[in-house]
Structure 1
Amino acid sequence: MTRTEYRWLLPSALADHELSGGDGGRSRRTVRDWIDDITAFLCAASIGVLALAAIDADHTTPDGVVFVDSLVGAAACCALWLRRRWPVGLAVSLTAVGIVEPVAAGALLIALFSLAVHRPFKPVAIVGAGALAVAPLQPLLRPDPTTSFIASTIIGVLLVLLVVSWGMVVRSRRQLVVTLRERARRAEAEAALRAEQAQRLAREAIAREMHDVLAHRLTLLSVHAGALEFRPDAPPAEVGRAAGVIRDSAHEALQDLREIIGVLRGPGEGDEGNRPQPTLVTLDALVEESVSAGMKVTLDNRVADPAEAPAATGRTVYRIAQEALTNARKHAPGAPVTVTVTGGPGDGLTIEVRNPAPTEPFERVPGSGQGLIGLTERATLAGGGLEHGPGPDGGFGVRAWLPWPA
């Protein structure tokens, strides 16, 4: 079975596929499989030895029959090494052998247990019903002088029911584990797909906004520039008027571009194009604003001259710190937050925002994770990278690196 076919199995079919031993049970045994097989062999051999000892102690069975019993019992125990590959055939064969051979009883019980673990309900029910039907035949053909026929039959029926029921319980538990594991894999794949889709939608939104707003301005630029190209002998007044229109259209296009980017940066930031853009220098003001709102924030800015940082890099650092502080305020209220900024020309800028787990109970605020996805996209577009995730102390951390040319 190929990896693609395996991936698209339904959860129930996938569980059956794994519990049945994969491709016909021909997969290599693991260390756990070897331990299970050796344990099963030893248990069946122990039961067979006890049965053989009881037969030999009776002194009513001929020595030749005892010798044949020992050979058949040994063969039945050795046949258990095939229980993973052919559980149905082995269980049927040992059921037939067990009618006249009490020494193979242990191997029969192990085979029925393996059948219930590795095969679905229908074959288990058929073979189990057959084992229950022939349970009275063995004490009838090979009676035990110390036990009555009824007692021997009841014990045989109860043992068959016990091992089959136990095997079905083990199979159900393994099916549950396989199903939960597959659901976890699907959940991780779907989360990654949602994150990728969110990034794609953000890029498409930027492209649509830029096209809708800038298309008109650029069309005007093209029209007036084309008029000047095809009428180089136009009067100076007309040339000046066309040049003024081109200049005004270019300025308005730049203004529209600033407004678009300001709107797309985040909710509530639509007026950003009309105010000074944040830089690395204004990071202190952001921290002071958070402290005045009741947060416990410590800023460790190790950059020698923040004013020398590139405007785009400083603005990205500011946005990362802003989003991280917002998340800490929502998801870890009351917890102290540490903001560390290091780096310089040539080494790049590194910002790290961390907070421990909150110590006081609070009402959890649901989050979609889109803010962190947007920060990752922003850092990637700036030529850097961003990592985020829970820490060993139960807190949360965000760490980003951005280039700073020398």
Structure 2
Amino acid sequence: MNPATAPAGAPTKRSAALLFRRLREGFTRIDERNGARIRIEDLALAGGYFILFWLLDAVHLTAFGDVKVAALASAWPAVAVLGCVGVVFRRTAPTAMAWMCGIAAAGLLFAGHAGGFLLVFEFFFSLVLFGKPRASQLASRAAWVLTVLLIVAAYGYSRAVDLAVVAGFFAVLTLLTPVEWAGNLRKANQLADSESARADAVEDAAQQRSLADRNAHELALEHERQHLARELHDVISARLSAIALQSGAAVHAQDSPLSGGGAVTVLHQIREESVAGLNELNTMIRLLHTGTQPESTGLVGDLPGLLGRYRATGTEFDYENSLPDAGSDLPVPLQSAIYRITSEALANAAKHAPGQPVEVTLTHAATKAHGLAPQRPGVELHLCVRSALLTELPSGVLGTGTGIPSMHFRAAHVGGTLSAAPHGMNWIVSLQIPLPASDKRDVIESGDQLSKRHTA
């Protein structure tokens, strides 16, 4: 339909339809959940309003003197009930409250009932305090606009200043006072909610910090337990394995007709291993009491003695150490890692392949530069422990499953890489460790000198 040819009553009908649609939307927000959240004080307030309406009607206090609509004047109780119902939903459904209180206030004012001013007061107070932010702002602005319009209309209608002053007094009392009062309460509620949210956030942050500290403490305890398990395995287990092997060799030596002093020698070695194991156990006990980390035991120079203890059990060893000064100039943590890994590899070889020959080599090699950028060649230290790989394991061989992971940990701790895997008919433990800068220079110079000697 063309707007130019539309009937004159069309805009009025559209406005009425929009009004009823908004009214319906406001009432549809009143559901069972809103009803369950109604407070007792709102019910008491609605009842108090209705009693006050009866008192105002009993004393014949009218709104505008004799100006009233007769049909509404006789039905004011029903209109008042509508307004009181709206007061009940002031918190749970502010939009529905605004429609009901607004209609009831207009009905009471046109009925000449002074209770309409009370509902106007409640309309603006509840809408500003409990309505949505946009509705609250619109109600505040509307109160100021209506105040100015009432004063201007009263003066324009009567041309009397006293009537304009009275109109302004009622406007301030029923429009501006509830708006300012409710606005201050809304700001106070928002501030309280903000402080409550801030307190909750602080409490949550404290709980998160406490949880993080507890997790860090548990992680530290787990690391400490792993460290103690690794030390116990690498130290005590290796000593006990050597004692078991040496005691077995002593038994066989005693049964042999050529026992002689061999059994005595083995028993001396068993005693040395026992005393050394007890000393290391006492060291770990002191660590648990004091919390101080002791110096790492076991150096590269101790490897011949370690091999000698296993050689006394009848195992054949082929040991080669081509490091400059036999690796005695290497840092102590690096030497300790080499010793521990070698000790664990020998214990595994003696356990899984008893009596089979073992080859231990400790060498160094230059690494080639990779990439397009010029780089100085580095030096890596190589440790290789090669033992036989039996098709069937000896009976009664049990392990804790921590040996190989412990070797990997010690290799990673000094910046190296380790592999422990079968290769053909052998089991090979291979360790590569890049040497520190100062040690690289020493090894390179020593390697050059050895090359010159061989060339000469």
Give the TM-score category using the shorter length. 0.3 to 0.5
Rg larger in structure? 2
TM-score by length of 1: 0.47
**Comparing both chains, which one has the higher relative contact order based on Cα–Cα distances under 8 Å and sequence gaps of 6 or more?**
1
